[in-house]
Amino acid sequence: MVSDGRPLLVYDGDCAFCQRAVDLALRMKVACRAVAWQDADLGALGLTEAQVTEKVWWVEPGGSKVSGHRAVAAALRHGSPALRPVGRLLDADALAPLASAGYDLVARNRHRLPGATPACRVEPPG
Show the beta-strand stretches assigned E in 1-126.
8-11, 33-36, 57-59, 65-67
Q: Is the pLDDT of residue 119 over 80?
A: no
Can you say whether residue 15 is alpha, beta or left, with left for phi > 0 and alpha for psi between -120 and 50 degrees?
Answer: beta
Virtual torsion, Cα 114, 124, 56, 14, nearest 10 deg: -60
pLDDT > 70 in the chain, percent: 88
Q: What is the pLDDT of residues 14-65, one digit of tens each?
A: 888 888 889 988 888 899 999 999 999 999 999 999 999 889 999 999 999 9
pTM here? 0.86
3-state secondary structure of 8: strand
